[in-house]
Structure 1
């Protein structure tokens, strides 16, 4: 099956300033692609290139097998939902939703049927006669989505659509968008700087930094096997622990040596048959460090650590310790007896470890 969206060797420059470099991304029909990265990484520019709102400097963009590089936005069969909602303030909700169809010459019976469908889907039937100024932020967002949905396009493009909403509303709107995607089977491209949003919505994630794609993969691949230190640090909340360490050979074994704030270094078993360099950075998610006795497995190893900070967080308690000169966070159960200043035996799940090169930041395993 040909990809519904195929971006090849795309670059975008403003004069000498290179905004996007050699972007290659392809998605299948029904995928939910999320472009994620810090502010200024080029994700919104890439979305605008897909929409045709920005011309590209090199490469190509195909939608459903058709080269769109020089096709105008209105002829690309896409629908876009903006951060600002971009609703007409003088029109009712119903007119905002049907306006695009009216401009394209769709007959009034079809307009009414599609309006009825999306209003029911988005639960905005009581709002149809109101104007945007009489709506809350979440309601405006639904109307903007309704306007896109009546198009039934090949691609839906979302540019940070939830960033103007408060935290609680963001979570509920995120669920709405996910349900919509599942019920419609539509293909969506979604820009956000919020990595939790990316993890919960996407079937495929593109992590960007400085106009360069750092990694493309499923949420599980990106979370469990980050390609480099940037992805490891950016994806996940709290972030992955990144601990400077050294390797030491002991016969056929490799040991990982990590400095502790006081006492002897911690020694952990390294991977079998490893050819890791002497200096490494060991990456381990907070949930892969538990209180001893609460985690079992062939590769689980326990060690005494001094606890510097205890942070209760409802269902979990986070504890912070110093390892390798860095603050390391462990995610423990809510009833832990951990106390600041006391020693606690922590269990490290070495099956989940990522190793990185300190100089290049690239993944080593």
Structure 2
């Protein structure tokens, strides 16, 4: 069975400036693909190429097994939800949702049935008589989604649909979009610069930087096994700690030496990775540096660390220290005894550690 979306060797240039470089990505029917990266990385340009709003400079693009490289947007069987909602201000919600069907000549009875069904799904039945100016941002976004849903397309495209909403409403709408995807089983491509949105919504994530794909994988793969330093630093909140260290082979394991601001280096023994170069960047998530009683992994190793800053955060407390010349964050429990300016025993889970080559930034293990 063909992928619902298959992008092959896609390039996009604006004159002499290349903005997308050899993009290869595919998704199966029912996947939720999220394109994520910082501003200017090319994710929205790639979405526009998929939609047909931007011509591509090289490569091929297939939707539902059909080559759509040079096909008009209206003939690609897609529906798009924009950041700006793009609603007609003089039309009611009902007319905004059904307008596309009316233009395509769908009979009124079918229009009404689809309108009722989608309005119930999005819980906007009471808004159908209003105009966009009378709606909140979240309500407008639901209407924009409703207009896409009545199309029943092969592929839904979302261009940063939540970026105009406040933080609380973003979380609520994120949950609604996730529930909607699970209910419909629809195929979706979603652009965001918010890595939390990417992690919570996606079945597959594409991390981009400078028009180049850095890594493709499930949220768990991206989080636990970042392909390079950029992905490690970009995906996760707080970000992965990236600590310069020395790796020295020792018997059946490797001694990992990490410089401390206040004395002799910390020495940890990694029995899983025995073929590391001497200079490495050790990547460890904040939750994998924890109170010894909380971290029960068989690969846990305890070290004394000087805590510089303690940040209570409700269910957790974050402790910041200097290791390898970098600020390193540990995620401790709310009742931790850690105090700023004091030494604290912390457990490092060597079973979860990533190693990167300092010069290239590529993953080693």
Q: Same fold (TM over 0.5)?
A: yes
Partners of 2:160 and 2:192 within 8 A in 1 = yes
Determine whether 1:240 maps to 2:240. Answer: yes
Residue 291 of structure 1: CA displacement? 1.0
What residue is the counterpart of 2:340 in the other structure? 340
What residue is the counterpart of 1:204 in the other structure? 204
Aligned residue for 2:295, secondary structure, equals: coil
What residue is the counterpart of 2:255 in the other structure? 255
Q: How far apart, CA to CA, are the structure 1 residues paired with 2:273 and 2:134?
A: 66
Q: CA RMSD in A?
A: 0.8
Q: How far apart, CA to CA, are the structure 2 residues paired with 1:231 and 1:273?
A: 21
Residue 298 of structure 1: CA displacement? 2.0
Partners of 2:288 and 2:349 within 8 A in 1 = yes
Residue 308 of structure 1: CA displacement? 0.1
Q: How far apart, CA to CA, are the structure 2 residues paired with 1:253 and 1:97?
A: 63
Q: What TM-score, normalized to structure 2?
A: 0.99
Q: How far apart, CA to CA, are the structure 2 residues paired with 1:219 and 1:251?
A: 35
What residue is the counterpart of 2:351 in the other structure? 351
Partners of 2:317 and 2:331 within 8 A in 1 = yes
Aligned residue for 1:112, secondary structure, equals: helix
After the TM superposition, which segments of 4 or more aligned residues of structure 1 sit over 6 Å from their partners?
A: none
What residue is the counterpart of 1:94 in the other structure? 94
**Alignment: residue pair count:** 365
**1:42-81 matched pairs, under 5 angstroms:** 42-81=42-81
Q: How far apart, CA to CA, are the structure 2 residues paired with 1:310 and 1:32?
A: 38
Cα deviation, 1:192-234, whole Å, max 9, x if unaligned, reads 0000000000000000000000000000000000000000000
Moved more, 89-98 or 287-296: 287-296
- Structure 1 residues not aligned, in runs of 5+: none
Q: How far apart, CA to CA, are the structure 1 residues paired with 2:62 and 2:24?
A: 12
What residue is the counterpart of 2:264 in the other structure? 264
Q: How far apart, CA to CA, are the structure 1 residues paired with 2:321 and 2:288?
A: 14
What residue is the counterpart of 2:25 in the other structure? 25
Q: How far apart, CA to CA, are the structure 2 residues paired with 1:130 and 1:273?
A: 62
- Structure 2 residues not aligned, in runs of 5+: none
Q: What TM-score, normalized to structure 1?
A: 0.99
